[in-house]
Chains A and B, each alone.
Chain A
């Protein structure tokens, strides 16, 4: 009887490991930036390309960076929620327009509404790479010093906002007092 113990233990162990591991999303790439400073950037502003949107412009309070583009279906999908959160969420939204047609981007915001305090144009995608972006939309939560607190991949949802963003915003502001 005892010779079955070792294989049984091994089997149970394997079932547990697979039971946990196989439920995870294998395509999800966790961000190594969480807890670290967001990368510096200086992007031409969508509303006035002669002006720059810099990381320094975001500092001082918690802020959101949303990476989007007009070619991105998920961005279209999350847009109404972003409009709502920009109004009621109490946190400023900044946009990074990723490898996009700037004319279309301006039209888009004019037609659908603009949740962003300012939008930076990332024409060559270098800033997106610095942020570790691998698909649009992606939404970053930054604290007042410009550290990345959280990164949400795929369209924003009310659930994700409530569960992941709201508590972090509150504790970051409390810590800043």
Chain B
């Protein structure tokens, strides 16, 4: 019985995200367009609440931007065209995944390069350590036969 209640509560909690939805517009009639709309709004940063996407932000600007995205998708524009529209007005920061170009190359490549640097450093340290003389505590046979030598 307790398990059923627990599962029930868990389900209600997970399902509640739909009730808490910020975007109150009715969905676009074409489900393909609606999917693209939802997906795009999750990739676009709300510039007022800058750690939220416009899909989640309650800021008035986010509502305005959602309206524009919706209008463009309903008018048949492609995802790239919607992104271009926003990039022209707000710059690279507006997309959560900035386009890969000269100015954002460091942002994209730095984590991989840093990881590579760390791996190489660890490898070199291990190699260096394994070349040191044997400790007295090691398992290798000592060169003398007994304690008093």
Contact surface of A with B, Cβ cutoff 8 Å:
10, 26-27, 29-33, 99, 124-126, 128-132, 134-135
Contacts and interface: CB of A to CB of B under 8 A. Distances in A.
B89 A129 contact: yes
B90 A134 contact: yes
Contacts of A31: 91
A134 B46 CA distance: 9
Interface in B4-43: none
A126 B68 contact: yes
Contacts of A134: 47-48, 61, 90
A48 B119 CA distance: 68
A27 B45 CA distance: 12
Contacts of A124: 64, 67
A11 B65 CA distance: 42
Contacts, number: 43
Q: Is the interface of B mostly helix, strand, loop or mixed?
A: helix
A30 B60 CA distance: 20
B91 A129 contact: no
Nearest to A135: B48
Given A30-B93, A128-B64, 12 more contacts: A10-B117, A27-B50, A29-B47, A29-B90, A29-B93, A29-B94, A30-B91, A124-B64, A125-B61, A129-B68, A129-B89, A131-B89
18 contacts: A29-B47, A29-B91, A29-B94, A30-B93, A31-B91, A32-B89, A32-B90, A32-B91, A33-B89, A99-B64, A124-B64, A124-B67, A126-B64, A129-B89, A132-B89, A134-B47, A134-B61, A134-B90
Contacts of B91: 29-32, 132
A99 B93 CA distance: 24
Contacts of B90: 29, 32, 132, 134
- Tell which of A26, A27, A129 has the most Cβ of chain B within 10 Å: A129
Contacts of A130: 89
Contacts of A126: 64, 68
B87 interface: yes
Nearest to B88: A32
Interface string B78-115: 00000000011111011000000000000000000000
Nearest to B92: A32
B66 to A, nearest CB: 11
